[in-house]
């Protein structure tokens, strides 16, 4: 652990530098939890190309995985940020508006990471404030699909090892006594 933590830190720094060099965006989008960067990401989503969003997803996702293994921090805000970035990337598809795509991404990522589907719908709905109520149905569908898919893909837990019952061997025939007759 003593050696793995600095190596993980260097990997996260390398990912942040690669993202900044590849896109011209701030490296803080990869480095920090995303709590303060989530609003500006959605507000300035038109300034991101699909390639920049995919690079952000790759770099932030790898940095997030390394950080969960070696550093302090929780799973909520980075998963919300990754979900929003994925939703923004998918909003470039025909027929998928930005706000429903962001709600779907946030809800799905939270459901997969937190394993709390109701909380994931609530987070996606409340985060989008006035648009939250109108996008709640698509957020619910995204959360259910993500939750079921992650539950299906997750390996089943190993069966607990039960201690073997001590083997009882039948008593030898010579030690079995015949019942005695009552004297009468």
What confidence tens digit (pLDDT) does each residue in 2-59 have? 888 899 999 999 999 999 999 999 999 999 888 899 999 999 999 999 999 999 999 9
% of the chain beyond a pLDDT of 70: 87
Structural domain contains residue 88: yes
Number of domains forming the structure of the chain: 1
Residue 169: what pLDDT? 59
Structural domain contains residue 174: no
**Nearest one of 120, 110, 119 to 83, comparing CA atoms:** 110
72-101: average pLDDT: 93
Structural domain contains residue 85: yes
Instruction: Answer yes or no: is pLDDT of 160 > 60.
Output: yes
Half-sphere exposure (CA, 13 Å, Cβ side) for 111?
25
On whether the CB atoms of residues 114 and 75 are closer than 8 A, the answer is yes
Residue 118: what pLDDT? 95
Structural domain contains residue 163: no
Report how far residue 3's alpha carbon sits from residue 13's, in angstroms, rounded to the nearest whole number: 16
Computed from CA positions of residues 109, 110, 116, 120, in that sequence, does the dihedral angle turn out positive or negative?
Answer: negative
Structural domain contains residue 9: yes
Crossing angle for the helix pair 132-153 and 98-114, to the nearest 10 degrees? 40
On whether the CB atoms of residues 57 and 86 are closer than 8 A, the answer is yes
Can you give the C-alpha Rg of the chain in angstroms? 28
Structural domain contains residue 162: no
Report how far residue 88's alpha carbon sits from residue 49's, in angstroms, rounded to the nearest whole number: 10
Structural domain contains residue 169: no
76 token code pair:
């909520």
On whether the CB atoms of residues 109 and 86 are closer than 8 A, the answer is yes
Q: How many CB atoms lie within 10 A of CB 7?
A: 11
Q: Which domain holds residue 101?
A: 4-154
Structural domain contains residue 106: yes
Report how far residue 161's alpha carbon sits from residue 177's, in angstroms, rounded to the nearest whole number: 39
């Amino acid at each position: 652990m003593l050696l793995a933590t600095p190596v993980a830190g260097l990997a996260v720094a390398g990912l942040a530098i690669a993202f900044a060099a590849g896109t011209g965006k701030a490296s803080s989008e990869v480095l920090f939890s995303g709590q303060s960067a989530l609003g500006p990401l959605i507000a300035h989503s038109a300034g991101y190309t699909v390639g920049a969003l995919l690079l952000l997803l790759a770099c932030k996702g790898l940095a997030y995985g390394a950080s969960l293994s070696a550093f302090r921090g929780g799973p909520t805000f980075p998963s919300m940020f990754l979900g929003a970035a994925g939703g923004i990337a998918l909003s470039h598809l025909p027929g998928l508006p930005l706000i429903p795509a962001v709600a779907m991404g946030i809800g799905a990522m939270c459901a997969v990471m937190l394993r709390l589907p109701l909380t994931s719908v609530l987070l996606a709905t409340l985060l989008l404030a006035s648009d939250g109520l109108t996008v709640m149905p698509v957020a619910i569908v995204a959360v259910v699909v993500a939750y079921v898919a992650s539950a299906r893909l997750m390996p089943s837990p190993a069966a607990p090892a039960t201690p073997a019952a001590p083997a009882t061997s039948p008593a030898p025939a010579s030690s079995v006594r015949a019942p005695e007759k009552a004297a009468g």
